[in-house]
Amino acid sequence: MSGIQDAGPQARPFADFAVLPEAEIRERVRTAKRALGSRLVILGHHYQRESVIEFADFRGDSLKLSQLAALQQQAEFIVFCGVHFMAESADILRRPRQSVILPDLRAGCSMADMAGGEDVEEAWERLVAAHGDTLLPVTYMNSTAELKAFCGARGGVVCTSSNARAVLEWAWERKSRVFFFPDQHLGRNTAFAMGVPLAHMAEWDWRSEDLDGANAPCYEADRRLILWRGFCSVHTKFTKQEVDEARAEDPAVKVLVHPECPFDVVRSADLAGSTEFIIEQVRQAAAGTHWVIGTEINLVRRLALEHPEQRVRSLQKSVCPCVTMNRIDPAHLLWVLENLLEGHLVNVVQVPETVRHYAKVALDRMLSLKGSGTPGPMARD
């Protein structure tokens, strides 16, 4: 991970906090928050655990949180309770005197790790050699700042699960082909819902040794979308069989999934959209609605708690947590807040200047798109 500043020598070590009892941590987080006042803003992704999200000043999906990060004027410290690529995006969009802090730097994203800068560059060169100047790169928010800069420098753009449709429309108005990374499923599900047949898509297998042979369809002239073969280790585990079983158990059930789920899961669901979209569907539904939801378990449990008037359960009967999102816990939150109070910035995420400029170009392009906050619901077959 790039641009991470270590805790200074005077900062208090995390080990002092790891051993504290839960109730004391909670009380001290409250006190530290109060003492930091308007110098601090805490942003929390919907997948955060209950004991962390309760301290968030704002909650959101990755699009909303990037918009919120860009809007912060007063706060000196933006503590990001989410994962590393989200904190990096907040750092790119922050104002000069602000710092972005990720309470646990091990909170990465296995999907973002599947697309390395050199591998993407090599793929791009081969694809441009085959297709000429007909390609635009689009990276999912779940990627490193380096890949966002790669896109920004080549006329490309970032997307999130909330705005992938608007971004792909924008991209295809400019070039006839899109190279989309790292999540094959978001790219495929969105493009298919827009009317692009599977036959006009191809996968780029970054693990293949034989890039000329194994990826031959990528070089065919009728391919409009080249998909990096990345996936989310959480959402890829949902299956169509689970959807079928849920419907067999309860014919009235509505199946609501995140577009990082595999193609057949999204096609057999009633609705698919970002975490913000999922929350909105449940919020607006009539009392007595039955839901099975295919996304991270912290969010599903929260929806079940907040909507006792509806029946909400996970599409997967065995629990499916995002390990890295769950690395952020109250002890790490307290550790960074009390160090801030004592003048020590720990776990600052700082994108290098050489990367920042073009990464911001790609993020700003996304944020300026009209209708980019409107999720495109994906219809059932």
Report the interface residues with ligand 13P, using CB under 6 A. Answer: 61-62, 142, 160-162, 232, 260, 274-275
Least distance in Å: CB of 246 to ligand SF4? 21
Nearer to ligand 13P, 36 or 151 (CB): 151
Name which position in 110, 161, 310, 314 contacts ligand SF4 (CB under 6 A): 110
Q: What share of the chain is helix, strand, coil (3-state, %, to 5)?
A: 45, 15, 40
Q: Is 265 in the site for ligand SF4 (CB under 6 A)?
A: no
In DSSP notation, 226-281 reads EEE-B--TTGGG--HHHHHHHHHH-TT-EEEE-TTS-HHHHHHSSEE--HHHHHHH
Which residue, 109 or 127, has its beta carbon nearer to ligand SF4?
Answer: 109
Taking CB under 6 A as the criterion, the residue among 130, 135, 325, 336 binding ligand SF4 is 325
Dihedral pair phi/psi, residue 91, rounded to 5° = -65, -35
- The piece of 92-100, 115-123, 187-195, 226-234 that touches ligand SF4 (CB under 6 A) is 226-234
Closest CA to 377 of 244, 307, 284, 250: 284
Residue 296 makes contact with ligand SF4 by CB under 6 A: yes
Pairing of strands 177-181, 135-140: parallel
Rounded to the nearest angstrom, the gap between the alpha carbon of residue 5 and the centroid of all alpha carbons in its chain is 23
Q: Please provide the size of the chain in residues.
A: 381
Element at 60 (helix H, strand E)? strand 58-60
Binding mask 76-95 for ligand SF4 (x = CB under 6 A): -------x------------
Residue 110 binds which entry of ligand SF4, ligand 13P, none, CB below 5-8 Å type-dependent: ligand SF4
DSSP per-residue codes, 173-239: HH-SEEEEESBHHHHHHHHHHTT--GGGEEEE-TT-S-TTTTTGGGGSTT--EEEE-B--TTGGG--
Region from 124-132, 211-219, 322-330, 339-347 binding ligand SF4, contact rule CB under 6 A: 322-330
Residue 25 CB, nearest approach to ligand SF4 (Å): 24
The residue from 105, 147, 322, 378 that contacts ligand SF4 (CB under 6 A) is 322
Among 48, 72, 99, 142, binds ligand SF4 (CB under 6 A): 142
What is the Cα–Cα distance from 319 to 234, expressed in whole angstroms?
10
Task: Return the closest-CA partner of residue 338 out of 4, 30, 6, 19.
Answer: 30
User: Which of ligand 13P, ligand SF4, none does residue 274 bind to, with CB < 5 to 8 Å depending on kind?
Assistant: ligand 13P
Q: Is the Cβ of residue 139 or residue 162 nearer to ligand 13P in the bound state?
A: 162
Q: Is 111 in the site for ligand SF4 (CB under 6 A)?
A: yes
Q: Which residues contact 367 (CB under 8 A, 6 or more apart)?
A: 66, 67, 70
Rank residues 117 and 155 by Cβ distance to ligand SF4 and give the closer one: 117
End-to-end C-alpha distance for the chain, whole angstroms: 40
> Which partner, ligand SF4, ligand 13P, none, binds residue 89 by CB below 5 to 8 Å per kind?
none
**Is residue 123 a contact point for ligand SF4 (CB under 6 A)?**
no
